[in-house]
């Protein structure tokens, strides 16, 4: 059967209906604090048992794709990332909204998410088996170096407030170590609280630091609405050709980074978005404008975010290795429908796999339609009086924090981190390094210690000096130096002039 015939089989009423249901559920869940694509796939998995495999995979794929995008809207408009994956959107997206460019911000995030998603799907469609081999080369040391990319990004983020940023990151790193040690099984830093015996849960911390702290900031600043100016939302969501051209490089680069990082098991969206953002910032003529509402920053992050979706399915479909939590749920879905992952999946069960991939492409088209035509409607959120918006955000965040583990303690946790986040914000201590270090800290420690054990057990050189590891070390060092390259060059020039 030709690949295009698989595309044709997608257009049945049943497939399209479930695609729309999945896509709508994904966007709504992605936008709601505490909900994510995982939640949607988890809930819809039993509902798809009775459906034909292609339809079931299309529905679940649509939830995955659009769930990843849904959080962008709330992150951009109200600084409330629906999921931790969207936290990078707040860096430039929310400042754009504050400048009255909320509509444009939705346009930028939608188009770049669409491009990122399509690039990921095309990689899945044409070069999946070849790309899947990359995943085999990643041992503990390589994974540590990959996670370190995310950590190094922090240094670039806090260049101007280096000391405060590093303190914030160190604190985030410490908090990430709360709970069970992944290697020895020893519980650390639970301080006698049984609810954090295994870990300090990610979602209440992220919701507290970003959403709740912002609620307190809005109250303290006595703002009547997020965007105050009357004329602020009069722009267009559609980008001009010139604007699209300006964003093209960041979008395409972000898409490729997202796809490649998605393939690496456990590297995740945070590393992809951070890496893409860092590259966009460091290669820009005006790096200081990043974090203050630069559309290029938003485009680079959105594209990487959605590129991860396609990328994470590459090792899953070809090797059976899930790259993240959501793709692990996907693995369950495949197996429930009697499909064993592997390269033969593309030959013997091609109609299901290609149906899924084309379904993912259509889900990305849905994102485009949903974002571009609904933008004016969503943008109205920013005009809602804070006296109405704050109670709504509060009840949703509290529910989101609870739903993560169904523990009442997590509601207290979200409030605690909200207050901590508020004071950090007021004292000029950046929040992003804390959250970034918190998200990546545990993985960095675990992989580092595993690599040390491997080195102790055998030859250290065979672990450290593999071609991939050398490449990653070079990238890490380059990323470390890059933000300060201008200052270093100036210093050398000055010394040269003095000599």
Partner 1 sequence: MKKEKRFNFNLIGCFFIYLMSGAFLVSCFSIEDIDSRTFPMILCILCMLLATIFLVQILKGKYTNADINMSGTAKALLMAGIILLYIVAINLVGYYIASIVFMPLAMLILGQRNWKIIVGVDVGVILFLYLFFGLLLSMQMPEGILFH
The least distance separating partner 1 from the CB of residue 173, rounded to whole angstroms, comes to 6
The least distance separating partner 1 from the CB of residue 418, rounded to whole angstroms, comes to 7
The least distance separating partner 1 from the CB of residue 403, rounded to whole angstroms, comes to 6
For residue 187, the SS3 value is strand
CA–CA separation, 113 and 399 (whole Å): 27
The least distance separating partner 1 from the CB of residue 441, rounded to whole angstroms, comes to 9
The least distance separating partner 1 from the CB of residue 21, rounded to whole angstroms, comes to 11
The least distance separating partner 1 from the CB of residue 385, rounded to whole angstroms, comes to 7
Q: Which of 134, 202, 328, 412 binds partner 1 (CB under 8 A)?
A: 412
The least distance separating partner 1 from the CB of residue 219, rounded to whole angstroms, comes to 5
Q: Which of 122, 202, 217, 473 binds partner 1 (CB under 8 A)?
A: 217
* Tokens describing residue 392: 């709504």
486 binds partner 1 per the rule CB under 8 A: no
The least distance separating partner 1 from the CB of residue 95, rounded to whole angstroms, comes to 17
Please list, residue by residue across 220-259, b when 16 or more beta carbons sit within 10 angstroms of its beta carbon and e when fewer do: eeeeebbbeeeebbeeebebeeebeeebeebbbbbbbbbb
Number of residues that bind partner 1 (CB under 8 A): 57
Q: Are 387 and 225 in contact (CB under 8 A)?
A: no
The least distance separating partner 1 from the CB of residue 106, rounded to whole angstroms, comes to 22
The least distance separating partner 1 from the CB of residue 334, rounded to whole angstroms, comes to 23
43, 170, 421, 427, 433 from 167: Cα distances, Å: 39, 5, 14, 13, 9
CA–CA separation, 405 and 410 (whole Å): 8
Of 175-214, binders to partner 1 (CB under 8 A) are 177, 181, 183-184, 186, 188-189, 191
Q: Which is nearer to partner 1, 202 or 399 (CB)?
A: 399
The least distance separating partner 1 from the CB of residue 460, rounded to whole angstroms, comes to 18
Put residue 488 in one of left, alpha, beta given phi > 0 → left and psi -120 to 50 → alpha. Answer: alpha
Q: Which is nearer to partner 1, 184 or 461 (CB)?
A: 184
Q: Which is nearer to partner 1, 388 or 474 (CB)?
A: 388
What is the per-residue DSSP string for 288-328?
Answer: GGTTSS-HHHHHHHHHHHHHHHHHHHHHHHHH---SSHHHH
Q: Which is nearer to partner 1, 47 or 481 (CB)?
A: 47
Of 6-35, binders to partner 1 (CB under 8 A) are 28
Q: Which is nearer to partner 1, 282 or 394 (CB)?
A: 394
Torsion, Cα of 200, 202, 207, 210 (10° steps): 100
CA–CA separation, 460 and 341 (whole Å): 34
- Binding segment for partner 1 among 234-242, 267-275, 414-422, 475-483 (CB under 8 A)? 414-422
* Tokens describing residue 207: 């919701």
Q: Which of 424, 436, 463, 472 binds partner 1 (CB under 8 A)?
A: 424
Kindly write out the interface string for residues 443-472 of this chain, putting x where it contacts partner 1 by CB under 8 A and - elsewhere.
--x--xx-----------------------
Q: Are 121 and 361 in contact (CB under 8 A)?
A: yes
Q: Which of 13, 241, 427, 497 binds partner 1 (CB under 8 A)?
A: 427
For residue 99, the SS3 value is coil
For residue 88, the SS3 value is coil
For residue 131, the SS3 value is helix
CA–CA separation, 361 and 6 (whole Å): 13
Q: Which of 133, 245, 380, 426 binds partner 1 (CB under 8 A)?
A: 426
Q: Which is nearer to partner 1, 44 or 370 (CB)?
A: 44
Whole-angstrom Cα Rg for the chain: 22
Residue 180, beta-bridge partner list: 187
Q: Could you say which DSSP state residue 240 is in?
A: P
- Exposed / middle / buried, residue 202 (Cβ in 10 Å: 0-12, 13-18, 19+): middle
- Give first-to-last CA distance, the chain, whole Å: 72
Kindly write out the interface string for residues 388-407 of this chain, putting x where it contacts partner 1 by CB under 8 A and - elsewhere.
x-xxx-xx--xx--xx--x-
Q: Which is nearer to partner 1, 192 or 496 (CB)?
A: 192
The least distance separating partner 1 from the CB of residue 12, rounded to whole angstroms, comes to 25
Q: Which is nearer to partner 1, 141 or 358 (CB)?
A: 141
Q: Are 411 and 401 in contact (CB under 8 A)?
A: yes
Q: Which of 6, 114, 141, 173 binds partner 1 (CB under 8 A)?
A: 173
Which helix (H) or strand (E) covers residue 69, if one does?
Answer: helix 53-78
* Tokens describing residue 408: 């009442």
Of 361-380, binders to partner 1 (CB under 8 A) are none
What is the per-residue DSSP string for 200-234?
Answer: --HHHHHIIIIIIHHHHHHHHTT-SSSS--TTTT-
Q: Which of 1, 3, 17, 43 binds partner 1 (CB under 8 A)?
A: 43
Q: Which is nearer to partner 1, 395 or 488 (CB)?
A: 395
Kindly write out the interface string for residues 220-259 of this chain, putting x where it contacts partner 1 by CB under 8 A and - elsewhere.
xxx-------------------------------------
Give the footprint of partner 1 on this chain (CB under 8 A).
28, 39, 43, 163-164, 166-167, 170-171, 173-174, 177, 181, 183-184, 186, 188-189, 191, 215-217, 219-222, 385-388, 390-392, 394-395, 398-399, 402-403, 406, 408, 411-412, 415, 418-420, 422-424, 426-429, 445, 448-449
């Amino acid at each position: 059967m030709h690949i295009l015939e698989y595309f044709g089989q997608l257009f049945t009423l049943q497939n399209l209906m479930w695609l729309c249901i999945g896509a709508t559920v994904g966007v709504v869940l992605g936008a709601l604090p505490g909900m994510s694509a995982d939640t949607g796939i988890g809930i819809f998995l039993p509902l798809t048992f009775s459906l034909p495999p292609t339809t079931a995979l299309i529905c679940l794929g649509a939830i995955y794709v659009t769930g990843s995008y849904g959080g962008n809207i709330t992150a951009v408009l109200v600084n409330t990332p629906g999921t931790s994956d969207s936290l990078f959107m707040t860096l430039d997206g929310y400042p754009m909204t504050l400048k009255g460019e909320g509509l444009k911000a939705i346009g930028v995030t939608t188009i770049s998410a669409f491009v990122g998603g399509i690039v990921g799907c095309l990689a899945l469609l044409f070069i999946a088996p070849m790309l899947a081999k990359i995943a085999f080369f990643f041992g503990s040391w390589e994974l540590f170096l990959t996670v370190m990319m995310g950590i190094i990004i922090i240094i670039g983020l806090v260049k101007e407030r280096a000391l405060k940023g590093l303190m914030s990151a160190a604190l985030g790193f410490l908090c990430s170590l709360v709970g069970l040690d992944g290697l020895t099984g020893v519980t650390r830093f639970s301080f006698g609280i049984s609810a954090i015996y295994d870990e300090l849960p990610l979602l209440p911390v992220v919701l507290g630091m970003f959403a709740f702290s912002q609620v307190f900031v809005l109250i303290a600043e006595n703002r009547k609405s997020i965007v105050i100016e009357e004329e602020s939302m009069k722009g267009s969501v559609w980008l001009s050709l010139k604007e699209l051209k300006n964003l093209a490089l960041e979008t395409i680069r972000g898409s490729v980074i997202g796809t490649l990082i998605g393939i690496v098991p456990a590297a995740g969206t945070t590393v992809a978005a951070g890496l893409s953002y860092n590259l966009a910032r460091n290669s820009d003529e005006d790096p200081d404008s990043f974090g203050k509402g630069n559309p290029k920053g938003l485009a680079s992050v959105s594209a990487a975010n959605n590129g991860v979706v396609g990328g994470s399915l590459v090792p899953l479909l070809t090797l059976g290795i899930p790259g993240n939590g959501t793709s692990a749920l996907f693995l369950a879905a495949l197996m429930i429908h009697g499909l064993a992952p592997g390269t033969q999946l593309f030959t013997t069960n091609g109609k299901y796999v290609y149906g899924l991939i084309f379904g993912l492409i259509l889900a990305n088209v849905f994102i485009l339609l949903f974002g571009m035509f609904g933008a004016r409607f969503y943008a109205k959120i920013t005009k809602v009086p804070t006296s109405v918006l704050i109670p709504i955000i509060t009840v949703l965040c509290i529910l989101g924090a609870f739903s993560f583990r169904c523990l009442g303690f997590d509601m207290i946790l979200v409030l605690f981190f909200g207050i901590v986040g508020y004071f950090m914000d007021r004292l000029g201590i950046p929040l992003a390094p804390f959250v970034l270090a918190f998200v990546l800290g545990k993985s960095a420690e675990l992989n580092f210690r595993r690599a040390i054990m491997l080195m102790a057990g055998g030859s250290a050189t065979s672990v450290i000096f593999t071609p991939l590891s050398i490449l990653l070390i070079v990238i890490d060092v380059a990323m470390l130096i890059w933000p300060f390259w201008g200052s270093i060059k100036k210093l050398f020039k000055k010394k040269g002039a003095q000599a």
